[in-house]
């Protein structure tokens, strides 16, 4: 019985393979690498029942994760976030079986912690001492904090417009933080240069193979929380798209293990903002990769990614699952954010709100059917985005009374 059944790395483009002992980055051909497991052995030794009674975090799936020695696990108790019905919002949209998986309830208040927990643990395992990454804020915050625990030095570069709280998190963690007058692509260029200049490990999205394994656990959890059935539709706010790629990978692996049925795959939906919708454009044009989006701008900062390195994997996942890509306006998503909070009491992040708004649009278009079981990923806590809500409250003096309108 191994802690991990990891086997090797492979390239989804040129099929080259690599050992998992190295400080692996991209394939020699330039493609992201994916992680393979010894599935036959795993299938033999581990069953869904094996999970019962295990800790309620993502490490309950350790056999299907790449960390080989439990001592290298860096953890803040992340994962196994709640999945629950959004009754009133669902009624309101005429999707009676509408669910939310709330990734706000995770360390750092963002699903980025999943990638960081697994990515940093594996980096520690292979001996990485210093890493660098560009970020729209949340990933940098998460990697900084997990790196602190692991004793790995982190250099983080983020746009000046990234949510302000995330720079506080990087600083508290003791990371080396730079802000850039630009977008995440500009941060990426600065990181690429620093990686060369100082021989750092490049932890950029998909430039190391393990972040996706952390994100994959969202898919494992959705399946387990639905008691190894799967929903009909999963909506995912898509920037770099690692979560969507990860969920698709998880579902494929679960099918291979026979833990979920082979004849039903949820339709995966990539949700973007109208101000930055390269995947939607590529999808609508029937392309297999996306062009960089010009003048990208949206209040849903986490999905403000003009060019995703894994665009071909996102588009493939959507296509294979009979899903789609759809965009919503900032105005629409902000309105949805308030609707969801006042109806069901969930204060979601703008990216999550975009996914709810997309569900509404897809139901109106009858792409989502009334009896579909639909899961929206809320990728972070609304409390990280104070600017999404305007407050208009009276300030009373100590001796004042509340006077209601007649």
Q: What is the footprint of a second copy within residues 66-125 (CB under 8 A)?
A: 74-78, 80-84, 88, 102, 104-109
Between CA 379 and CA 390, with CA 384 as vertex, the angle to 5 degrees is 115
Q: Segment contacting a second copy (CB under 8 A): 1-9, 163-171, 247-255, 314-322?
A: 163-171
Binding mask 305-344 for a second copy (x = CB under 8 A): --------------------------------xx--xxxx
Distance CA 223, CA 154 (A): 34
Nearer to a second copy, 336 or 372 (CB): 336
Q: Residue length, the chain?
A: 406
301 within 8 A of 163, measured Cβ to Cβ: yes
Distance CA 24, CA 208 (A): 6
- In the complex, the smallest distance separating the C-beta of residue 183 from a second copy, rounded to whole angstroms, is 9
Distance CA 55, CA 61 (A): 10
Nearer to a second copy, 22 or 174 (CB): 174
Binding mask 165-204 for a second copy (x = CB under 8 A): x-xxxxxxxx--xxxxxx---x--xx--xx--xx------
Please provide residue 98's backbone torsions phi and psi, each rounded to the nearest 5 degrees. -95, 130
Near a second copy in 121-160, by CB under 8 A: 145-150, 155, 157, 160
CA-closest candidate to residue 320, choices 251, 377, 259, 382: 251
Distance CA 245, CA 315 (A): 9
Nearer to a second copy, 19 or 54 (CB): 54
Q: Count CB atoms within 10 A of the CB of residue 20.
A: 21
- In the complex, the smallest distance separating the C-beta of residue 329 from a second copy, rounded to whole angstroms, is 19
175 within 8 A of 147, measured Cβ to Cβ: yes
Near a second copy in 262-291, by CB under 8 A: none
- Both tokens of residue 108? 């750092």
- In the complex, the smallest distance separating the C-beta of residue 172 from a second copy, rounded to whole angstroms, is 4
Residue 384 within binding range of a second copy, rule CB under 8 A: yes
Near a second copy in 344-363, by CB under 8 A: 344-347
- In the complex, the smallest distance separating the C-beta of residue 160 from a second copy, rounded to whole angstroms, is 6
- In the complex, the smallest distance separating the C-beta of residue 49 from a second copy, rounded to whole angstroms, is 10
Nearer to a second copy, 160 or 365 (CB): 160
Q: Segment contacting a second copy (CB under 8 A): 205-213, 283-291, 295-303, 397-405?
A: 397-405
Nearer to a second copy, 295 or 398 (CB): 398
- In the complex, the smallest distance separating the C-beta of residue 57 from a second copy, rounded to whole angstroms, is 6
Nearer to a second copy, 68 or 166 (CB): 166
CA-closest candidate to residue 323, choices 199, 236, 217, 223: 236
Spell out a b/e string for 365-394, using b for 16 or more CB atoms within 10 Å of the CB, else e. Answer: eebbeeebbbbbbbbbbbebbeebeeeeee
Distance CA 204, CA 40 (A): 32
- In the complex, the smallest distance separating the C-beta of residue 197 from a second copy, rounded to whole angstroms, is 7
Q: What is the DSSP letter of 49?
A: G
Near a second copy in 18-57, by CB under 8 A: 52-53, 56-57
- In the complex, the smallest distance separating the C-beta of residue 355 from a second copy, rounded to whole angstroms, is 17
Q: Segment contacting a second copy (CB under 8 A): 257-265, 286-294, 299-307, 394-402?
A: 394-402
> Measuring CA to CA, how many Å separate 281 from each of 194, 306, 311, 384?
32, 12, 11, 29
Q: Segment contacting a second copy (CB under 8 A): 161-169, 228-236, 237-245, 363-371?
A: 161-169
Q: Count CB atoms within 10 A of the CB of residue 246.
A: 28
State how beta strands 130-134 and 153-159 pair. Answer: parallel
Nearer to a second copy, 74 or 234 (CB): 74
């Amino acid at each position: 019985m191994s802690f991990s059944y990891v086997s090797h790395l492979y390239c989804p483009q040129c099929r080259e393979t690599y050992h998992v002992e190295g400080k692996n980055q991209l394939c020699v051909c330039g493609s992201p690498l994916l992680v393979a497991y010894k599935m036959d052995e795993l299938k033999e030794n581990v069953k869904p029942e094996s999970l019962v009674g295990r800790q309620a975090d993502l490490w309950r799936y350790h056999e299907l994760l790449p960390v080989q020695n439990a001592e290298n696990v860096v953890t803040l108790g992340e994962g196994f976030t709640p999945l629950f019905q959004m009754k009133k919002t669902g009624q309101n949209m005429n999707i009676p079986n509408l669910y939310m998986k709330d990734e706000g309830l995770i360390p750092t208040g963002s699903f980025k912690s999943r990638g960081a927990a697994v990515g940093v643990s594996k980096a520690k395992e292979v001996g990485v001492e210093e890493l660098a990454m560009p970020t729209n804020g949340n990933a940098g915050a998460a990697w900084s904090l997990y790196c602190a625990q692991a004793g790995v030095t982190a250099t983080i570069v983020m746009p000046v417009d990234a949510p302000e709280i995330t720079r506080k998190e990087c600083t508290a963690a003791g990371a080396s933080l730079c802000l850039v007058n630009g977008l995440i692509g500009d941060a990426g260029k600065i990181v690429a240069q620093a990686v060369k200049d100082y021989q750092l490990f490049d932890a950029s999205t998909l430039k190391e193979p393990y972040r996706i394994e952390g994100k994959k656990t969202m898919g494992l959890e959705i399946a387990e929380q639905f008691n190894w059935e799967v929903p009909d539709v999963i909506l995912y706010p898509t920037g770099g798209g690692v979560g969507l790629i990860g969920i698709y990978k998880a579902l494929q692996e679960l099918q291979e293990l026979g833990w979920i049925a082979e004849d039903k795959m949820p339709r995966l939906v990539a949700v973007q903002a109208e101000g930055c919708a390269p995947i939607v454009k590529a999808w609508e044009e029937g392309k297999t990769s996306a062009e960089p989006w010009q003048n990208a701008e949206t209040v849903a900062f986490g999905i403000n990614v003009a060019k995703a390195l894994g665009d071909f994997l996102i588009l493939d996942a959507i296509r294979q699952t009979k899903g789609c890509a759809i965009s919503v306006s900032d105005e629409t998503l902000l309105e949805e954010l308030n609707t969801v909070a006042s109806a069901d009491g969930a204060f979601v992040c703008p990216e999550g709100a975009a996914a709810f708004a997309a569900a509404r649009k897809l139901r109106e278009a009858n792409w989502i059917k009334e009896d579909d079981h639909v899961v929206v990923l809320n990728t972070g806590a609304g409390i990280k985005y104070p600017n999404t809500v305007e407050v208009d409250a009276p300030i009373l003096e100590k001796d004042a009374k509340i006077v209601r309108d007649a």
